[in-house]
Amino acid sequence: MTLRSRSVPTAHVALAVLAVAILIASVIPVPSATPQTDPTGTVDTTTLLHIAGYATLAAGGVIAVTRERWPWRRRQRRGDDSSVGIGSVAVVIALVALFGVATELLQATIPWRTFAVAEVGLNAASAVIGGLLATMWFYRPVE
Phi, psi for 8 (deg, rounded to 5) = -85, 130
Task: Tell me what pLDDT residue 4 has.
Answer: 53
Torsional sign, CA 74, 78, 81, 86: negative
Q: How large a percentage of the chain has pLDDT more than 90?
A: 48
Phi, psi for 75 (deg, rounded to 5) = -70, 140
Task: Tell me what pLDDT residue 35 has.
Answer: 66
Average pLDDT over residues 26-30: 87
pLDDT tens readout for residues 41-67 = 777 888 889 999 999 999 999 988 877
Rg of the chain over all Cα atoms, to the nearest angstrom: 18
| Chain-centroid distance, C-alpha 21 | 11
CA count, 13 A, side-chain hemisphere, 103: 25
Residue 60 is given by DSSP the state H
Q: Domains of the chain: which residue ranges?
A: 44-71+83-143
Task: Tell me what pLDDT residue 72 has.
Answer: 45
pLDDT tens readout for residues 97-135 = 999 999 999 999 999 888 999 999 999 999 999 999 998
